[in-house]
Amino acid sequence: MSTDPRQPGGPAERELLAALAVQLAWGADEALEEAPQNRFGMWAEAAAPPAPSPPAAARHASLSFVAPSLRTPPVAAAVAQAERLAASADTLEALREVFAAFDGCALRETATNFVFADGVPGAPVMLIGEGPGAEEDREGLPFVGPSGRLLDRMLASIGLSRRDGTVYITNVLPWRPPGNRSPTDSEIALCLPFLRRHIALAKPKLLLLAGGVPARALLGAREGITRLRGRWRMVEIASLAEPLPTLATLHPAYLLRNPGAKREAWSDLVLLRRRLDALLPGVGQN
C-alpha cells in the first residue's frame, strides 16, 4: 500500500471526497467556474489592508431597498442599464428578449435556462415567485417542480389555474441561483426593473407574491414573510394608471416543509378569491 497521502485512495483524496460530500449535502451541486480558485490565496488577500472604497453613486430608485454598499458602481450602473432595457420593451415578447440578453447579472452564467413566465398574459391574477429551482431550470418554465405542483392545487382550490387564463406566473429571478441558494440583494435589484416592466405589460388586476423574496422586492420592506403576508397593500407600477392591490403569502416550498402553515396560506387564498370576486364576479369558477 502507498504511503504517499496524495495517492488515489490516500488520506488527501479521502479528505477531498468527504469535503465534496458535505458541499453536495448543503446544496452546492453546480460548478460556478471552469477553473478552480485558490481560496488560501484569497484569504491572504483579505488579510491585506482594505483598498479605499469607491465614491458613492447617486441614489437609485431600484436600489433604494438594498444596503447602502450596493448603491455604488458597478451594481448601480448595471441596474441603470437594466432599467433602460426594460423601459425599451413595449411588448412581453420584446421584454423576454432584452431580459434574456441582459448580461449584468452573473446568475445567467450558471443557469441552464432563462425562465420567463407561464400561463396567460392578461390574466387577472399575476403570481410572482422567487426564482427557478432545479426542475424549472431544466424545463425553462416557472413552478413545475414539487412546489409548483402544490401551487397548482392551491390555486385550483379557489377556482384558478395557469391553464384557463385566470393566473399568469413569473418569478423575481429568471435564472436559478446555484444550488438553490437565496438570491443576493444585488441580484434582486438587477432583476427588479424587468419584473416591474413585466407587470406593467401583463396588466393584471391583482398581484400575489409567493415568499419573502418577491414580497420584500415589491413592497420595499425588510420584514420576513410571516409579517408581510395576509394583508392587502397597494403597489405603484410605472405606466399603470392605478396602484395594484397586492397580497403576499407563504411560498409553497415553505408549506411543503411546514404543512402546519397551510392554514395561513388558505386564509390568504380566501382573501384573494374575495377580492377577485369583487372585481370580476365568478371568474374561473365555471
Query: Given the rule CB under 6 A, which residues bind ligand URA?
Result: 129-133, 136, 142-143, 145, 147-148, 171, 211, 253
Minimum separation from the CB atom of position 120 to ligand URA (A):
17
* Choice between 119 and 211, CB closer to ligand URA: 211
* Choice between 131 and 204, CB closer to ligand URA: 131
The string of DSSP letters for 188-211 reads HHHHHHHHHHHHHHH--SEEEEES
Cα(226)–Cα(162) distance, rounded to whole angstroms?
Answer: 25
- 124 CB neighbour count, 10 Å cutoff: 19
* Choice between 133 and 204, CB closer to ligand URA: 133
Minimum separation from the CB atom of position 217 to ligand URA (A):
12
Best CA proximity match to 131, nearest among 188, 186, 48: 188
Minimum separation from the CB atom of position 200 to ligand URA (A):
21
* Choice between 131 and 245, CB closer to ligand URA: 131
Cell numbers of 200, please?
A: 406593467
Q: Sign of torsion, CA 71 74 75 79?
A: positive
| Cβ proximity of 181 and 130 under 8 Å | no
Minimum separation from the CB atom of position 278 to ligand URA (A):
27
Give 223-226's long-range contacts (Cβ < 8 A, gap of 24+).
225/249, 225/250, 225/251, 225/254, 226/250
Residue 135 burial (CB < 10 Å; 0-12/13-18/19+)?
A: middle
* Choice between 143 and 175, CB closer to ligand URA: 143
* Choice between 130 and 152, CB closer to ligand URA: 130
Minimum separation from the CB atom of position 136 to ligand URA (A):
4
* Choice between 247 and 253, CB closer to ligand URA: 253
Minimum separation from the CB atom of position 173 to ligand URA (A):
8
Cα(175)–Cα(113) distance, rounded to whole angstroms?
Answer: 7
Minimum separation from the CB atom of position 208 to ligand URA (A):
12
Question: Which single residue brings its beta carbon nearest to ligand URA?
Answer: 129
Cα(138)–Cα(232) distance, rounded to whole angstroms?
Answer: 34
Report in angstroms the alpha-carbon separations of 31 from 27, 134, 179: 11, 14, 9
